[in-house]
Amino acid sequence: MTQNPESQPPIPAPLNSAAVTDAAALDHGTYSGIRTSRSAARLELDGVWHQISPRYVVSQIVQNVIFIAIIAAAALVAFLVLDQIWPLIPAGVIIVITLLTLLILPRQARAIGYMLRADDIVFRKGILWQRMIAVPYGRMQLVDITQGPLDRAFGVSQLKMVTAAATTGVQIPGLTQAAAEALRDTLIEVAETRRTGL
């Protein structure tokens, strides 16, 4: 006995490039290949990794150089004007740690990626300490785009997805403005269909 195809519940179609509001925007001006650890086994997922913009690294370097300049100036004022030598020690430690962070920043940026799948978005970051998060579309409550002053100057944005569980919230930094807007529109559209069961 055959069933009427109209009475069967619809099967959600995989989320592919056609479902993305502006698919070309996701990969325009981004890194070309995601960086993974050589020793780690590759986790095969059914989708395409999209990456962030290299301008994110430049923006972070400028922000950290400004931070280093402020710390160095405060330590020098304390030393030269107030005749205090002890602020030079914590200032030196902070500056060295910040410089080390800047050295590995380009490698970290190339390891950041996201993948749009049929039922969720997967976000990954890290090389030595890898983190991978899958956020179901139906659980999303808020999709937010933020930009600081320097991010705006370099044309990058941060997209934040908030779910009911705070631990599964995801922030994707370093997206181009076009990619952030296209991804936001896509996530809102798909999340609405998953919540309503259409």
Task: With beta carbons less than 8 A apart as the criterion, state whether 159 and 116 touch.
Answer: no
* Torsion 146-151-153-156 (CA) sign: negative
Cα 7 from Cα 33, distance rounded (Å): 44
Residue 97 pLDDT: 95
Q: pTM of the entire structure?
A: 0.76
Report DSSP state, residue 120. Answer: E
Task: With beta carbons less than 8 A apart as the criterion, state whether 143 and 184 touch.
Answer: yes
Per-residue pLDDT of the chain (198 residues; tens, 9 = 90+): 444 444 443 434 445 544 566 667 777 777 776 776 554 445 566 778 889 999 999 999 999 999 999 999 999 998 888 888 888 899 999 999 999 999 999 999 999 999 888 888 889 998 888 888 888 888 888 888 998 898 999 999 999 988 876 555 688 999 999 899 899 888 888 877 776 554
Residue 195 pLDDT: 64
Q: What residue type is assigned to position 128 of the chain?
A: L
